Amino acid sequence: MVTSGNAQQCIPLKYPVNDFRGCPSIPINSSGPLTQLHFYVDECYEQWKCLERERKMTETILTKTFPGKRITAVSNTTLPKTPPNPTRVDHLIVKLMREQAKVTSLLHRMECLRNIPLHINIHTALSRHHMSLCITQARRKEELANKSKHQQQRDIAPLIIALKDLAAATRKLQTELWCALQMTLPKPVKSSAQVGSNCKATQRSSERSLVS
């Protein structure tokens, strides 16, 4: 059940397959730091792809459901660019920041279509994802600032933790984006034929009860 404002809105539809069940984890001491780093970078890339697919699918559904309704996109002119000689982590941060900007614009579009704000949990997931991105970016800068090779393994531990949290936050945002879509789509309206059929069925049931 998803709540919206003072009312409660039930969503019986199935959640996306990649819903928020936590991020796969490996014990900190079970493998080397570099192995852990690659593991969580791969996990973050997978979650980014899932979020991108969910966002594109949502855009397609909204376009078909609300034809002709144009909503001004939220522009963001501060999107980052990859630094010189970027690593996979650098590319990941930029890709996720750009995707988050698109998701933010899409959520704004859904709020305009609904004419009421989305549930607070959706905005909380968006804020958490933004914070996780900022922390990961900060940890990456700290890693670059470290010039001592013998401190390399010790200093990438904060980056590993940040990437683990980023993967979980990205997965959570994907689920909340799905919830936002369900809250935005109009409820199906029964046709007059369906209403008439239900009335006749109720009448026949009442007649059988009287006879018996």
SS3 8: strand
pLDDT tier for residue 200 given thresholds of 50, 70 and 90? low
**Taking the CB of residue 179, how many other CB atoms lie within 10 A of it?**
21
**Is the confidence at residue 198, as pLDDT, over 70?**
no
Predicted pLDDT at 7: 43
Burial 26-47 (b: 16+ CB within 10 A, else e): eeeeeeebeebbebbbebbbeb
Q: What is the pLDDT of residue 96?
A: 97
Q: Which residues fall within 8 angstroms of residue 178, CB to CB, at 6 or more apart?
A: 15, 16, 54, 58
Determine the pLDDT at residue 202: 57
Model confidence, pTM: 0.73
pLDDT at 12 over 70: no
List pLDDT tens digits, range 82-117.
888 899 999 999 999 999 999 999 999 999 998 999
Average pLDDT score over residue span 160-181 = 98
pLDDT in tens, 127-156: 999 999 999 999 998 888 875 555 555 578
